[in-house]
Amino acid sequence: MGKTVTGAQIVWEALVAEGVDVCFGMPGGAILPVYDALAKYEYPVKHVLVTHEQGASHMADGYGRTTGRPGVCIATSGPGAINLMTGLATANMDSVPIVAITGQVPNILLGRDGFQEADILGVSLPITKHNYLVTDIKDLGQAIKEAFYIARSGRPGPVLVDVTKDVQNTVLEDFDYDAIEIDLPGYDPTMSAADAASIARAAKLLNEAERPIIISGQGTSLAKAEAELRELAEKAQIPVATSLLGIGTFPTTHPLSISWGGMHGDAHCNYAIQDCDVLLAVGARLDDRLTGAFDTFAPKAKIVHIDLDPSEVGKNLIIDTPVVGDALLTLRELIPQVESNEHPAWIDQINEWRGETAERDILSQERDDLNAPYVCQQLWHLTNEGDCTVVTDVGQHQMWEAQYFKHTKRRSLLTSGGLGTMGYALPAAIGAQFGAPDEEVWVMAGDGGFQMTMIEFKTLAEQNLPVKIALINNSFLGMVQQWQDVFYDKRYSGTPLKNPNFVQIADAYGIPGRIVTEKADVADAIREAQAYDGPYFLEFRVPAEHVYPMVPAGKSNADMIRRPTAATE
Amino acid sequence: MADQTMEKHTIIAWVEDKPGVLYRIAGLFSRRNFNIESLSVAQTEEPGVSRMTFVTIGTARDMRQVHTQLNKQINVLRIEDVTDNPSIDRELALLKVKAVSENRHEVVQLAELHKASVVDVTIDSLVVQIVARPDLVQSLVDNLSHFEIIEMVRTGSVSMNRSYRRKAGE
């Protein structure tokens, strides 16, 4: 015999049963019964009050990426739920498990444009993996159970459950969450290896290749196939690039690593992509930021694409050998069929390019002024060579972080790669710290994006989490300015920023901070932040400059613009 | 390249009969920039399962995307591209045609030649009903457009695979 509960209680009963220890949210009229039930029945779920609902969805995202379990965010109807959408779209693009619970107006008011009503099912439909509108209490437990199941299984993603207020208030007898059976006849996330024939074709191509490379995406990490990827690469001596989200799936310090490719990837990586004869993509979407113009990507290569999601294979590129299956199980079957190999000429060629990349490197130029790449490099050194999680925002600092912080640990970079959501970093870092309380978590953000969600200083201070913040301040929307420099004749339309005194703002929330203007002070400032027991804010003042290389949007990776050398300046 | 040829495809989707399912499918088509020429939805022999017949135009690669993207929808049970199958394809159309005494006979004759029937008559109009293969429906529409078509409604194509016929002695 089950319990007699209200709909509001069902929400918490479900969260507890799903093992949720923390959720991020903001109350409001249409979700009040749920909030009341939390206080009344003292469910063992920590509620983190956010400053703005966008923060809640990014926090759930940070938690989801760090733990691999669905992050939970809660909001009221109308504006509350709509404010979650940026975070849900971010998570949807980057395959992050989230369960969002939103209040909806009472059944009687549905469709009548009542106060704080919006069609949240409709709004969230194209930016979630799935969603539910629950208007009958009998469906509530089922919807939440399925939401968790869908969010975490297969290719993960955000699922939203919209619950009308009267469902929250209605009493249901004989409720038993454990007895609810998932009923999704159209959804089968069973993990399996790709079919044997396609794996054999992939192995044959790799065995015959003279200039092979691998591009590893986040799918490798979601499948927990990092060790298998490395085994394959080492066995056949195949250089490994990653996508931006694939950073951390292969140690950047490994001799076979060729960093990451695409618009701001390393030059030697893009040269290798453009010249390789077989390209094995593992769990990467091969999106336009990686490929450049689709028809110019890896023009000499036969492309093998391993992906769990059949809709990703052939979406952007014509794939010679589609291999649809789980990366882990597929690589396990592929490895024995791939012969040990050396490819010395190819690896020599790549190392020659690598040397040329290093010569043009910003850090090999003699510069006395403080610059963002130097900050990234120092942060890497001072975190025991990258033993921390970095959560970046979006823009130039994001690219520099990805270039100069040599990630070796799985899931040690959280970044909005697909949607490119400015304002992601601070709230996502808060969620990440809840997911990994013992981890050193760093925010790296630019002055533009950081201000979009800076209000979550309040949440950070209230929760007193030891999140450290490195703000890279060049007083510009730097990436946009870079485009204006290159494509718009240096007309800085809307990009110069008249910034506030950030350290004073942090101080107003009780968060200590420091401005760093000299290169010589960087290490000391980072150590100071690390030593502090709580959140700490560092502002690094840097000049406006460009991220190189740069592939103009819609152009081939072969057309990348390189950093001017002393000779070309 | 053969892959680039634009062709008409008939795709059947069996979907769970749940609120918003049409919204999901129609949204998917517009979001992914797939064309829908016609769409017909109704229930099936199985309670809780609806059947959608799409007619869509695109390359073979587009069709693979349509197929895999539709399949990814949680409420979609099964997808089948029946374009190249031996199938029964039918569409119903009602055409209200301006017909006065001088040309009424001609309209009726055209309808009869298309195995269509006249289902409503007024002093200055006829309503012609046709149930036929979509290309034959189109042929009637083309012919009747020489008269004035006042109003037209078409259901879009529905499709069913033919059963395998045993040959004598099998």
What residue of A is the nearest CA neighbor of B66?
Answer: A311
Fold classification of B87-160 (topology level): Alpha-Beta Plaits (3.30.70)
Catalytic residue among A54, A104, A116, A403: A116
pLDDT surpassing 50 at residue A569: no
Handedness of CA A554, A558, A562, A568 (dihedral sign): negative
Catalytic residue among A13, A18, A53, A456: A53
pLDDT surpassing 80 at residue A370: yes
CB contact at 8 A, A391 and A65: no
User: Which regions of chain A carry the CATH code 3.40.50.970?
Assistant: 3-179, 363-547
Answer CATH for B2-81 from 3.40.640.10, 3.40.50.300, 3.30.70.260, 2.60.120.260 = 3.30.70.260
The model's pTM is 0.95
Residue A266 tokens, joined: 């390393």
CATH for the stretch A363-547: 3.40.50.970
Mark yes or no for CB contact B74/A133 under 8 Å: no
Q: Output the pLDDT for position B105.
A: 94
Query: Hey, is the C-beta of A142 within 8 angstroms of any chain B C-beta?
Result: no
Mark yes or no for CB contact B27/A185 under 8 Å: no
What residue of B is the nearest CA neighbor of A308?
Answer: B72
What residue of B is the nearest CA neighbor of A151?
Answer: B74
Q: Dmax over Cα atoms in chain B, in whole Å?
A: 58
CATH class of A3-179: alpha beta
Q: Give the separation between CA A156 and CA A544, rounded to whole angstroms.
A: 38
Residue B3: list chain A partners with CB under 8 A.
Answer: 318
Instruction: For B34-88, give the DSSP string.
Output: ---SEEEEEE-SSTTEEEEEEEEEE-HHHHHHHHHHHHHSTTEEEEEE-TTS-EE
Query: Hey, is the C-beta of B44 within 8 angstroms of any chain A C-beta?
Result: no
Query: Hey, is the C-beta of B143 within 8 angstroms of any chain A C-beta?
Result: no
The count of C-alpha atoms lying within 13 angstroms of the C-alpha of A551, restricted to the half-sphere facing its C-beta, is 28
Q: Give the separation between CA A97 and CA A153, rounded to whole angstroms.
A: 9
Q: Output the pLDDT for position B152.
A: 97
Q: Output the pLDDT for position B166.
A: 73
Residue A125: list chain B partners with CB under 8 A.
Answer: 20, 23-24, 27
Q: If you ran DSSP here, which 8-state letter would residue A557 be given? A: G
Q: Which long-range contacts (CB under 8 A, 24 or more apart) does A525-531 make?
A: A526/A378, A526/A379, A526/A382, A526/A470, A527/A382, A529/A468, A530/A382, A530/A383, A530/A440, A530/A468
Q: Give the separation between CA A390 and CA A412, rounded to whole angstroms.
A: 6
Query: Hey, is the C-beta of A500 within 8 angstroms of any chain B C-beta?
Result: no
* Type of residue found at A396: Q
Q: Dmax over Cα atoms in chain A, in whole Å?
A: 81
Query: Any catalytic annotation for residue A116?
Result: yes
CB contact at 8 A, B119 and B128: yes
Please report, for chain B, how many H helices and E strands are present, in that order.
Answer: 4, 9
Query: Hey, is the C-beta of B145 within 8 angstroms of any chain A C-beta?
Result: no
The 10s digit of each residue's pLDDT in A402-451 is: 999 999 999 999 999 999 999 999 999 999 999 999 999 999 999 999 99
Cβ atoms within 10 Å, residue A499: 17
CB contact at 8 A, A514 and A526: no
SS3 A173: strand
The 10s digit of each residue's pLDDT in B7-46 is: 999 999 999 998 889 999 988 988 888 889 999 999 999 9
Contacts of B13 (CB under 8 A, 6+ apart): B25, B51, B52, B54, B70, B76, B78, B79
Residue A35 tokens, joined: 């909030």
Q: Give the separation between CA A223 and CA A331, rounded to whole angstroms.
A: 10
Total residue length of chain A:
569
Q: At what angle do helices B134-144 and B104-113 cross, to 10 degrees?
A: 160
Query: Hey, is the C-beta of B18 within 8 angstroms of any chain A C-beta?
Result: no
Q: Output the pLDDT for position B1.
A: 44
Residue in the block written with tokens 């507890």: A16
- Shortest alpha-carbon distance between residue B142 and chain A (Å): 38
Residue A8 tokens, joined: 């509001």
**Among the listed residues B102, B91, B37, the one whose alpha carbon sits nearest the alpha carbon of residue B66:** B37
Query: Any catalytic annotation for residue A250?
Result: no
The 10s digit of each residue's pLDDT in A70-89 is: 999 999 999 999 999 999 99
What integer best gives the mean pLDDT of chain A? 96
- Shortest alpha-carbon distance between residue B12 and chain A (Å): 15
CB contact at 8 A, A303 and A273: no
CB contact at 8 A, B162 and B86: yes
Q: Output the pLDDT for position A566.
A: 58
Mark yes or no for CB contact B61/A133 under 8 Å: no
Q: If you ran DSSP here, which 8-state letter would residue A49 be given? A: E
Mutate one of A311, A317, A320 to test the B interface: name it (highest B CB count within 10 A). A311
SS3 A358: helix
Residue range A240-261: mean pLDDT, rounded: 96
CB contact at 8 A, A443 and A429: yes
Strands A22-25 and A71-75: parallel
SS3 A338: coil
Mark yes or no for CB contact A186/B72 under 8 Å: no
Mark yes or no for CB contact B64/A129 under 8 Å: no
Of A125, A184, A315, Cβ closest to residue B65: A315
Chains A, B: CB contacts within 8 A come to 43
**Among the listed residues A131, A124, A76, A66, the one whose alpha carbon sits nearest the alpha carbon of residue A96:** A66
- The domain spans of chain B are 2-81, 87-160
The 10s digit of each residue's pLDDT in A490-504 is: 999 999 999 999 999
Helix (H) or strand (E) holding A206: helix A196-208
Catalytic residue among A115, A224, A359, A518: A115
Query: Hey, is the C-beta of B64 within 8 angstroms of any chain A C-beta?
Result: yes
pLDDT surpassing 60 at residue A561: yes
**Among the listed residues A536, A411, A531, A380, the one whose alpha carbon sits nearest the alpha carbon of residue A465:** A536
Mark yes or no for CB contact A310/B71 under 8 Å: yes
Helix (H) or strand (E) holding A330: helix A327-334
What residue of B is the nearest CA neighbor of A121?
Answer: B20
The 10s digit of each residue's pLDDT in B121-169 is: 999 999 999 999 999 999 999 999 999 999 999 999 999 999 876 777 7
Burial per residue of A256-269, b for 16 or more beta-carbon CB atoms within 10 angstroms, e otherwise: bbbbbbbbbbbbbb
Catalytic residue among A85, A452, A479, A550: A479
What residue of A is the nearest CA neighbor of B13?
Answer: A186
Q: Tell me whether domains B2-81 and B87-160 share a fold.
A: yes
Q: Residue A568: which pLDDT band, with cuts at 50, 70 and 90? A: low
Query: Any catalytic annotation for residue A53?
Result: yes
- pLDDT above 90: percentage of residues in chain A: 95
Q: If you ran DSSP here, which 8-state letter would residue A297 be given? A: S
Q: Give the separation between CA A408 and CA B85, rounded to whole angstroms.
A: 52
CB contact at 8 A, A175 and A11: no
- Shortest alpha-carbon distance between residue B77 and chain A (Å): 4
Residue range A227-232: mean pLDDT, rounded: 98
CATH class of A196-355: alpha beta
DSSP helix, strand, coil percent of chain B (3-state; round to 5): 30, 40, 30
What was the ipTM of the complex prediction? 0.89
- Shortest alpha-carbon distance between residue B35 and chain A (Å): 16
Mark yes or no for CB contact B31/A126 under 8 Å: yes
Mark yes or no for CB contact A186/B20 under 8 Å: no
E strands present in A177-263? 212-216, 240-242, 257-260
